[in-house]
């Protein structure tokens, strides 16, 4: 009877781990949680030992004779494995290659943009492939192409170094740049510029709105101030005396 095996094309084939009853060996070499060797035990004894300690029996070296198993919580084991894989992926950026294309008659602005992109790639631990293509009669003046490539190398010297001298292959010049170690590499000027711009925006937002305050003060000053009522000239003054006057200012005569 054929035993079921995980297909090779399965994405989980490489990370498959046997636990407890899924282990096929009759005898296993057991390692405790502290890393101590407990010797070779029968599979049933090892599983019972793991259950007594409240952990799992995880096969960590299936190709050994006998297979090596560890007493550990399976969830914790998977977490540690995922953490190690994540750390390993951080150092794989150097295997990635980004390409930058130049020309013998490149504009200075385009040259600075290409160099800025290459600096970003090198600061992210990536290699940069520089390609310069000759078109038509530009092949008659290859020295101009080599001058552009050498200028590009000098511009990126604080961030990366060429693996070899630039070579003419076919109708183009090819060059590979590798990033310098972090302790010897200059800081990325593009990231510093973005951080400075962000800090500047934050300072402006913290300043009080002076314009609104001035407008409020002006509006406050424009309000009329009512004068106090004049004091009566003498005791017995009639405040309704004006009602006895007609529109022409003369006293009414009833």
Q: What is the pLDDT of residues 24-51, one digit of tens each?
A: 888 888 888 888 888 888 888 888 888 8
Per-residue pLDDT tens digits for 220-240: 444 455 555 555 554 455 544
- Identify whether the C-beta of residue 190 lies closer than 8 Å to the C-beta of residue 120: yes
- Identify whether the C-beta of residue 122 lies closer than 8 Å to the C-beta of residue 128: yes
Per-residue pLDDT tens digits for 120-173: 998 888 899 999 999 988 888 899 999 999 999 999 999 999 999 999 988 899
**Number of neighbouring beta carbons within 10 Å of residue 60:** 15
Can you list the positions of beta strands (E) in 135-221? 160-162, 167-169, 172-179
Supply the pLDDT for residue 247: 54
- Identify whether the C-beta of residue 71 lies closer than 8 Å to the C-beta of residue 53: yes
């Amino acid at each position: 009877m054929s035993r079921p095996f995980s297909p090779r094309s399965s994405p989980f084939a490489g990370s498959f781990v046997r636990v407890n009853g899924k282990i096929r060996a009759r005898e296993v070499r057991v390692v405790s949680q502290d890393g101590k060797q407990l010797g070779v035990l029968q599979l049933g004894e090892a599983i019972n030992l793991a259950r007594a300690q409240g952990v799992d029996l995880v096969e960590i070296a299936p190709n050994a004779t006998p297979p090596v198993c560890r007493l550990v919580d399976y969830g914790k084991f998977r977490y540690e494995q995922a953490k190690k894989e994540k750390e390993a992926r951080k150092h794989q950026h150097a295997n990635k290659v980004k390409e930058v294309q130049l020309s013998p008659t490149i504009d200075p602005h385009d040259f600075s943009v290409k160099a800025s992109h290459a600096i970003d790639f090198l600061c992210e631990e990536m290699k940069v492939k520089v390609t310069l293509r000759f078109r038509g009669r530009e092949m008659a003046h290859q020295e101009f192409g080599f001058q552009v490539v050498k200028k590009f190398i000098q511009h990126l010297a604080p961030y990366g170094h060429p693996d070899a001298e630039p070579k003419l292959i076919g109708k183009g010049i090819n060059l590979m740049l590798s990033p310098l170690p972090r302790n010897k590499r200059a800081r990325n000027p593009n990231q510093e510029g973005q951080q400075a711009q962000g800090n500047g925006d934050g300072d402006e937002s913290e300043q009080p709105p002076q314009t609104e305050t001035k407008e409020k003060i002006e509006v406050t000053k424009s309000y009329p101030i009512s004068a106090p009522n004049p004091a009566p000239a003498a005791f017995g003054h009639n405040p309704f005396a004006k009602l006895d006057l007609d529109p022409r200012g003369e006293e009414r005569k009833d």
